[in-house]
Every structure is written in C-alpha cells, then in structure tokens.
C-alpha cells in the first residue's frame, strides 16, 4: 500500500494511559466497539486522516472531531468525561459541499441551502434552530453553539429527519462547518 493510499484511509492509535503509554489499539477504518481491544483509552495519536470518536459503542453518545496530531490526555484537553468506545474515519471529500438545513423536524419550517461554513445560523438566516437537514455533498460538523463551539455532531451525506431520533434530543445546532482538505 502506498503512502497516498494510507493517507486516504486514515490511521489512529489509541493508548490505555495518558502520554501514549500502556497497551495500544490501531484503527484504520470504522470501529463500532473498542472494548474488546482496550478496557480504557486516555490518549491517542492520529497519524493520518480525520476521525470522529464517540463515548459510547456503535457511534452513539458525545462526539469529538480529531485531525492529524497527538492527544496526550484528550479527556482533559477536550473536556471528555467518558473513554472513547467507538470511532469513525471521515473519508476525504474533494468537490462541492451542499447541505440544506430546516428549522423543524421532518424537513419543516424555514429552510436554507448552504455551501460554506456558517458561524451563526441565527445571524445569517434568522433561524432560531436547526432540527433536520439533508446533506447532499461533503462531510460536515454541526455545533450546538455559534462559532463552532459546544457539543458537535458529524453529518455525512444523507437525510436527517430528526436529531432527537439520533439520540441528540434537546440539542439545537447553531453553527456548521465543512470538513475540508485542510483538516487532513
């Protein structure tokens, strides 16, 4: 496998202890349950690509975006309370980015099509909330607060009728960011 193929795939290594100590587990694609490999994970190193990590199995729970770099104590660095239980590799997307956001669940209410980052949907679109969306092109991160802050959710192409049904009940998404080549 060439270096180009490796960079397209992504590679993340999880360690049981802080500062890359203890047993390790390497992932080069999605992993829905890491508990059979590591009892806990307190640091990680992203050697290539970008990943979203979750504090529950099967890509559930709180999500955290990780790009190439070292995270010697990610629990305190990112304010995590739980260990990472699953991870999803984000494929590199080249081309156009398009997402249509809706004020209400099931694609109801006011809607707007986006092709670039939005720091604050209330200021830009006069929308008080975003409760559903359709991601047509690219991969996106949605944040509960303006300026890409607070809890986030990874969105890949598809229809998202209700964030509540995805385990994100009560969350409002107020800013959106494209996952671009610069993240890799």
Q: Does 103 share its domain with 53?
A: no
- Domain finish residue from 64, 90, 116: 90
The residue range of the domain holding 61 is 3-90
- Domain finish residue from 28, 58, 90: 90
Q: Does 83 share its domain with 121?
A: no
Q: Does 109 share its domain with 174?
A: yes
pLDDT at 74: 80
Q: Does 86 share its domain with 106?
A: no
pLDDT at 2: 34
pLDDT at 8: 59
Q: What is the share, in percent, of the chain residues with pLDDT greater than 90?
A: 70
The string of DSSP letters for 110-179 reads EEEEESS-BS-HHHHH--S---EEEEEES-EEEEEETTTEEEEEEE-SEEES-TGGGT-TT----EEEE-
Residues in the chain predicted with pLDDT less than 50, given as ranges, are 1-7
pLDDT at 168: 73
Nearest to 101, CA basis, from 89, 90, 116, 86: 116
* Contact present, 42 and 15 (Cβ < 8 Å): yes
- The Cα–Cα gap between 112 and 95 comes to 20
> For the chain, how many structural domains are there in total?
2
| Predicted confidence (pLDDT) per residue in 31-60, tens digit | 999 988 888 888 999 999 999 999 889 998
Domain of residue 126, CATH code: 2.60.20.10
């Amino acid at each position: 496998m060439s270096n180009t193929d490796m960079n397209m795939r992504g590679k993340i290594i999880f360690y049981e202890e802080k500062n890359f100590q203890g047993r390790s587990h390497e992932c080069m694609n999605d992993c829905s349950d890491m508990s059979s490999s590591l009892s806990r994970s307190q640091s990680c190193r992203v050697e290539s690509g970008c990943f979203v990590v979750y504090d529950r199995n099967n890509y559930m729970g709180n999500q955290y975006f990780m790009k190439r770099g070292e995270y010697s104590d990610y629990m305190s660095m990112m304010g995590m309370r739980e260990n990472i239980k699953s991870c999803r590799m984000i494929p590199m997307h080249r081309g156009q980015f398009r997402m249509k956001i809706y004020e209400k669940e099931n694609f109801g209410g006011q809607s707007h099509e986006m092709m670039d980052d939005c720091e604050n949907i209330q200021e830009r679109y006069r929308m008080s909330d975003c409760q559903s969306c359709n991601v047509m092109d690219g991969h996106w991160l949605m944040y509960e607060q303006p300026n890409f802050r607070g809890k986030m959710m990874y969105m890949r192409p598809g229809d998202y009728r209700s964030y509540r049904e995805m385990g994100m009940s009560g969350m409002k998404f107020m800013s959106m960011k494209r996952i671009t080549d610069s993240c890799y």
